[in-house]
Structures are given as C-alpha cells and as structure tokens.
Structure 1
Amino acid sequence: MKINILAGGPQQYLPNLNDYCFDEVLWIGVDRGAYTLIKKGIAIDYAFGDFDSVDESQYSMIKQHVPHLQRVKPEKDETDMELALLWAIEQKPEEITVFGATGGRLDHFFANTQLLIQPLLNDILVPIRLVDKQNQIMVKKSGHYQIAKESTYPYISFIPVTENVRNLTLTGFKYPLTNHFVPLGSTLCISNELIDDNGTFSFDKGILMVIRSKDEK
C-alpha cells in the first residue's frame, strides 16, 4: 500500500494528481486539502485537521465524502500536516507522497521539510517525499543509494541537513565527487545532473536533503 497526502497549499503548485491515482493507494486530505481532493473527484479515505481554512458549506461537503474524519482543536502542539503524517507512518506503507506542502507561506514550507527529517532521527525508514509540479524533495541518512535519470526532473541537488556530511561520493553525475566533506550551509552540490542512465550517491555521516527539480515552462 502507498499513501498520498494532500495538504492545503496553493493549488497552482500541484502536479496532476491523477497521475498519482493507483489501485493500491490511500488518499488523505489535510484541512483544505480534503476539500480540494473532493472537488477534483479523487476518492478520499481519511482527513485530518482543524479545518479553519474552509467555510461551513465546504466542511459539510468534507463530512459527507470522507469516511474517516479526525477534526482537532486549532490550539495544539502539532500541525495538521504532522498529525496526518504520523498516522500515515503508523500504517507502515511502501511510501508516502505529500502534495500541497510547498509554495505559499514559508513557515509552512519549512515546517513540512522538517517533518521529513524527524522520522529518520527516530530510525523510521518509510520513504517520504514532498512533490509539487517542479520538485521532488526527500531526505536520506548516511548510506549508499542508486538514482535513475528522469527527464522530467533533470536537476539533482544535495543539501546538508546536519552540521557535517562526510565522504560524499557521486558517480554517474556531470559533477562527480569522491569522499568529499560537505558542511552545513554549503551550496557545492546544487543543480547537478546525471550523465548516465543511473548513478549513485553515498556518504558515511549526516543527513542529506535530495531535491530533484525542473525549470518552469
């Protein structure tokens, strides 16, 4: 099973969600994201949030269409997105894809990128990625990984999340590296590209944010 989550970010940043509608996928709406899924005709299974970003008629529609609805008080320690993601992780899916989590307010965007990091710190290895119409964002702990060329997302950036990333090695890339130290704040690994159909990246300490992106048409 795979889980897709739609948050309430600006719709102009969304990819075509129909491209992510598979047989074995469960959809979760977060706050206004639940209403967006309904309006797009996508069957929604669960919804989480305080729903302060929808009006009463929109919330009534959500109640009619969502079989499992969890409404919470606005005054809480976790964001609506965090509540939905924590529930999704507990289901132990093959992967979690989050839409509507970029664009708009920067505090929401940075909070959502932080939610990618927290599971790794607790040794939860469910693959989680943020996706919009120009980017795919994920985080990786130290290890050895294969990565395939995708024409739709030709640029690949590696951004240190922890203070030090040690012995970063990139093979199959336009700008290769061998056992390179990358400190927090470095822009060394921005906008790289694969020159082979497949490449690898590896490092033995730290956490990297991996961003696959494309230019806007």
Structure 2
Amino acid sequence: MRAIVFGGADIDDYSFCKKYINSENIIICCDRGLLHADRLEVKPDYIVGDFDSVADTLLKEYREKNFDIEEYPSHKNYTDLELGINIAIEKGADDIIIMGGIGSRIDHTFGNMHLLYMLLKKNIKACLINEHNYITLTNSKLKLKGDKGETVSVLPFMGDAFGVTLKGFEYPLNDATMKCGESLGVSNVVVDDEAFVEVKEGCLAVMKARD
C-alpha cells in the first residue's frame, strides 16, 4: 500500500505529483503540507503537526469539515514529517512517497534523507521527490527504468559502501568501494534503457537530478 506524505517545503509546479497519486493511496499532510493537498484537490486521510507554518484559515477550514487532525506541541523530539511517516507505517504502508520534503532548508532536507534511512531499515520502499530531484536509498539492488539520458548521482550514505556495481551508466563500476569524503559518483548519466545499482555492504543514496 502506498502512502503519499506531504511536507511543508515549497512546490512550484505540481504537475509531477499527479502521476504518483491515485484514489487508493493514503494521503498524510504534515503541517504546511496541507496546502499542497489542498492545491492538488486531494482529500487528506490524516493531518498532523504542530501547525506553526500552515495558514490558520486553511487549517480551520479542514477542522470545520471534521478531518482527522492530530496536533502536537512545537517542542517535541520529532519533525512534523516524521510524525506523518510514523502514521504511514502504523497504517501498513510499504511504499512511501514524500512530496514537499526537499526545500531551501538544507538541514530539513538532510534530516529527511535520514528518515529514508529509517524506512530502508524497516524494508519500506521510500523516496523524496520534487520538480527537480528524486532521492532514494538502497542497501542491495535497484533498477532504474526509462531513465536514459538522465543525470543520476550515486553516493555512499551513512558510511563507506562496498561491492558497488553500476551498469547502464556512462561511468560504470564493478565491485568497487565508494568512500565517504569523496565525490566519486556525482553526475553520472544513464546510457541504456535500464540501469542497475548494486551494493553488497553499506548504503547508497541514488539521486536523479535536473536543473
């Protein structure tokens, strides 16, 4: 089951969102993420957060319509996005797409990548996406379909990565070691109809990016 989790980072062009969302998804809005669901005319199943960034008028509108809203204090040990992800886990999601999780606040974006790592450890498929980026993590094998010509960066995450193989890329690797503190893996290009990423030990961040 797929969950769409909306965070509060800006989304300027919503066209990319629509191909990921259907009526069978769980929709979870984290604080200002409610704005994105509202603009997409997507009905949220859960609204969660401390609500320090969503417009009061918008939140009031959803309160009056009796949507499921969970409010937390601003002083807490979890970000609003993590609260939303925890709901997705509790509801049995095995595929979580995070929209509004990549923004101008690099600390939030980096923290959200750590949430991807938490989900990876739970064997839950997950990614962060916006108009220009797609970020996911793997600790085994990953196949990229239909991405010929796209720029893809592959970097070690949370430590060195061993036994890294990249196939279908302009710069392939075979059973290589990728070390933290090096830029090897930035701005590779997919040259085949399918590309493959494999790591035997460790974790890789796989990032599609375009200007």
Q: Same fold (TM over 0.5)?
A: yes
Which has a greater percent of strand? 1
Alpha carbons 1:96, 1:126 under 8 Å: kept: yes
Offset at residue 111 of structure 1 (A): 1.3
1-side partners of 2:12 and 2:32: how far apart? 14
Task: Choose which of 133, 136, 141 in structure 1 pairs with 2:134.
Answer: 136
Corresponding residue number in structure 1 for 2:142 = 145
RMSD: 1.9
- Which residue of structure 1 aligns with residue 194 of structure 2? 198
Q: Deviations over 1:148-189 (max 9, x none)?
A: 2325x8111111113211121111211111111110122111
From the superposition, tell whether residues 7 and 183 of structure 1 become closer, same or farther in structure 2 (CA, over 3 Å).
Answer: same
Secondary structure in 2 matching 1:11: coil
Q: Unaligned 5+ residue runs, structure 2?
A: none
Change in 2 beyond 3 A, CA 1:100/1:14: farther
- Letter of the 1:22 counterpart: N
**1:186 matched to which residue of 2?**
182
CA contact (8 A) 1:130 1:137 kept: yes
1:7–1:100: 8 Å Cα contact kept in structure 2?
Answer: yes
Give the aligned partner of residue 171 of structure 1: 167
Q: How far is 1:140 from its partner? A: 0.9
Q: Tell me: CA distance 1:36–1:62, structure 2 relative to 1, closer, same or farther (3 Å).
A: farther
Residue 190 of structure 2 aligns with an amino acid whose one-letter code is L
Task: From the superposition, tell whether residues 13 and 190 of structure 1 become closer, same or farther in structure 2 (CA, over 3 Å).
Answer: farther
Shift, 1:195, TM fit: 1.5
Shift in Å at residue 13 of structure 1?
A: 6.5
Give the counterpart letter for 1:148 in structure 2. K
Q: Which runs of 5+ in 1 are unaligned?
A: none
Q: Deviating runs (4+, > 3 A) in structure 1?
A: 13-16
TM-score (norm 1): 0.89
> Residue 154 and residue 88 in structure 1: after superposition, are their counterparts in 2 closer, same or farther (change >3 A)?
same
Identity across matched positions, percent: 27
**Distance of aligned partners of 1:40 and 1:170 in 2 relative to their CA distance in 1, 3 Å threshold:** closer
Match of 1:33 in 2: 33
| CA drift at 1:92 | 2.5
Cα pair 1:163 1:206 within 8 Å, conserved: yes
Q: Aligned residues, how many? A: 211
